[in-house]
A and B are shown apart, each in its own frame.
Chain A
């Protein structure tokens, strides 16, 4: 069980590398430029939906990017939620 954080856009190597390492039961939290991967209807989003991980988006970053209304179907969490997630998981891996 791993908490993955992705802070890179869908065109990045980090996005591709991260997707390959995610396993069912993991959580993927999108933050920074990673929030663009949650855009509904995109190929990147379809890949994330198929990866088997619970998909979360950092609300503050999605708001800043103007994508808050376009990430339906993901779980929006705030910074406190991020802290809570990091407490629940035995390990965390940052992709950037």
Chain B
């Protein structure tokens, strides 16, 4: 049997500026529900989803930070973050809602090459 194709989600948008952040997490959970091999990469403004202490209650929208914290429960453990993008925003990855492995540019290119399906959000 051929190896299953692997899916990489590139998350590039901030959490509340559009519905893309929410959509990317919906795709992640749907893929995980069907046991599809899945990786997440936070890059560009997408790293802002990793800010700790998000409270979106007054906005009346769901808090993606809380959802991110639940990813390990769905066996989504391949979570990566663009080190350069995180540094641009002075992010403390140790305090992020989910554990994400920081990758340099060359490592990100290798990550892309190791997946067959790429979806950008």
Q: A: which residues have CB within 8 A of B?
A: 1-2, 13-14, 16-17, 20-21, 23, 90-96
Which chain B residues lie closer than 8 Å to A14 at the CB level? 12
With beta carbons under 8 angstroms apart, the residue of B44, B105, B108, B109 that contacts A13 is B44
Looking at chain B, what size class is its interface with the partner chain? 10 to 19
How far, in whole Å, are A16 and B105 apart by their CA atoms in the complex?
13
Q: Is the contact region of chain A dominated by helix, strand, or loop, or is it mixed? A: mixed
Within 8 A of A (CB), among B1-29: 10, 12
Identify 8 residue pairs between A and B in the complex whose beta-carbon atoms are under 8 Å apart, listed by A's number: A2-B112, A21-B43, A91-B115, A91-B117, A93-B10, A93-B120, A95-B120, A96-B120
Closest to A18 in B: B120
How far, in whole Å, are A62 and B118 apart by their CA atoms in the complex?
26
How far, in whole Å, are A56 and B42 apart by their CA atoms in the complex?
27
Q: Does B113 contact A (CB under 8 A)?
A: yes
